[in-house]
Amino acid sequence: MEDRDSTVLHPPPNKLHQTTPERIEECKIELGPDGYGIDDHFSRLPDLCIINIFKHLERCEMKTLSMVNSRMFPFANEREFDSIKWERNYLLVYEDVNRYSFTIEGCEQKHDCDYKISRNEDGHFTETRECREHVQILHCSIPLNTPLKGTHHTKTLRTKTVPSSTSVMDYFFAALTELLRHRGLFYVTLRDISITKADNVEEGRIILAEFVRNIDAVGLYYGQNIINEYFIRTLAGGKVKDLSSDDPIDFGDMCRISVEKLEYFFHPDRSILPFLIGYEILEIPSLVLNHNWIADLAMMCIEFYGKKRTEKNVVWLKFSVDHLIRSEEMRNRINDVEFEYTEENGNHFIKKRSDGMKVKIWTEGYPVEGSIVHSIILRVFDENVVKMH
């Protein structure tokens, strides 16, 4: 615009770089003193107007406009446009040619309904549902058994496929976290994730763990090699729930990682114990604890949950243990000034003398690949509230 007073409304452009003389010559457009083309009135629009123009664009058009020049470039990433960016509830994240494709689909599901059954004049019963709440759920598939050629935009990737050797890329999780945060989504299902990129398994695991802890609830159907000590430590404080269970959606402090096939076990050191406490439910069958730590873990649970009584008054922890636990060992390991140990019918009980908080411990054995794996279950409860035998 000819009127330079209009710069009152124009904040100085935040340019990615200054236009060099070479570039001026290259584009053969005369530039004004502010670095924009003499006839480039569009770039001189105030931010507010440009934002308003962007609001009318769809995601792909935003992308095109952001590539026009450095003035437009930052606007495509404005958080204000996030509802527009994803309004189709569908996002494909992909890389092409010998790399990997991801599909994310968001959908809104009706949840928490009132059911009303009424009888029509003709004698038939009609059921109506009145929905009190909509829950947004994001489904994500990371499939691909073999590298696909070219660029893929197909929705067929939504379907669940067998675990693959697909590596999880960091930008995928960055994108997904952003997407979830902006849309206020609190639940994500991850299927068939396999971090097997030979040179970078640990990094992929860390990225996934960092991602998972930023989401309120995650259904994690994992492939192999995801869960290790670092993963659990990172996860501690996060919330994970396995969608494969039919439990009602209850996103309390809950961490349950399902293992349909126990393909991978890990043996952490003792320092992991504090990170296993704080959940109402925590099941990690692939985590193998040393049997000598169980008494300590039980006493730590009693101390923790005694101070923070849970609503249900019962906490459930399930892991694997390297050997069956023995009464004598348990008895020797507890602090018998503060705690009392008893054994009944093969179940071990540790109770805090002062407040009645109690842990019931028992083991179950099941065969895995020709050998027996022992799982150990700790139920923490308040004896004054819950009677458990």
Partner 1 sequence: MVLITLVSSDEQNFPVERELLKQSGTIETLIVNMNLDDEDTDAAAMPIPLPNVKGDVLEKVIQWMEHHKGDPVKEGDNEDNNAEIVVPQWDDDFFKPAMYGSKHLELTVAASYLDIKNLLTLSCKAISNTFKGKTGPQIREEWGVPNEFTPEEEEAIRKENEWSE
| Binding positions for partner 1, rule: CB under 8 A | 1-3, 5-6, 8-9, 15-17, 19, 23-24, 26-27, 29, 31, 36-46, 48-49, 52-61, 63-70, 73, 76, 84-85, 87, 91-95, 151, 153, 171-172, 175
Q: Is 110 left (phi over 0), alpha (psi -120 to 50) or beta?
A: beta
Indicate the residue among 41 and 79 with the shorter CB distance to partner 1: 41
Closest distance to partner 1 from the beta carbon of 201 (Å): 22
Give the integer Cα–Cα distance in Å for 69 and 81: 19
The two tokens of residue 101 are 């494709």
Closest distance to partner 1 from the beta carbon of 4 (Å): 12
Q: 63: Cβ–Cβ under 8 A, 6 or more apart, which residues?
A: 76
Distance from chain centroid for Cα 12: 40
Q: 217: Cβ–Cβ under 8 A, 6 or more apart, which residues?
A: 186, 187, 188, 239, 240, 241, 251, 254
Indicate the residue among 1 and 385 with the shorter CB distance to partner 1: 1
Indicate the residue among 106 and 238 with the shorter CB distance to partner 1: 106
Closest distance to partner 1 from the beta carbon of 61 (Å): 5
Indicate the residue among 172 and 349 with the shorter CB distance to partner 1: 172
Closest distance to partner 1 from the beta carbon of 383 (Å): 54
Burial of 69 (0-12, 13-18, 19+ CB in 10 A): middle
Indicate the residue among 90 and 366 with the shorter CB distance to partner 1: 90
Closest distance to partner 1 from the beta carbon of 326 (Å): 54
Indicate the residue among 5 and 133 with the shorter CB distance to partner 1: 5
Backbone angles phi, psi at 190, to 5 degrees: -115, 125
Dihedral sign (CA 27, 29, 31, 35): negative
Closest distance to partner 1 from the beta carbon of 191 (Å): 19
**Contact in structure between 324 and 309 (CB atoms under 8 Å):** no
Residues facing 197 on adjacent strands: none
Closest distance to partner 1 from the beta carbon of 146 (Å): 21
**Contact in structure between 121 and 135 (CB atoms under 8 Å):** no
Rounded to whole angstroms, what are the CA distances from 22 to 27, 29, 38, 68, 69? 9, 12, 17, 18, 16
Indicate the residue among 92 and 334 with the shorter CB distance to partner 1: 92
Closest distance to partner 1 from the beta carbon of 102 (Å): 9
Closest distance to partner 1 from the beta carbon of 31 (Å): 7
Give the integer Cα–Cα distance in Å for 225 and 223: 7
**Contact in structure between 19 and 26 (CB atoms under 8 Å):** no
Indicate the residue among 79 and 323 with the shorter CB distance to partner 1: 79
Rounded to whole angstroms, what are the CA distances from 36 to 1, 13, 53, 192? 11, 10, 19, 50
Closest distance to partner 1 from the beta carbon of 165 (Å): 21
Burial of 21 (0-12, 13-18, 19+ CB in 10 A): exposed
The amino acid occupying position 122 is D
Indicate the residue among 204 and 238 with the shorter CB distance to partner 1: 204
Dihedral sign (CA 198, 199, 202, 205): negative
Indicate the residue among 42 and 230 with the shorter CB distance to partner 1: 42
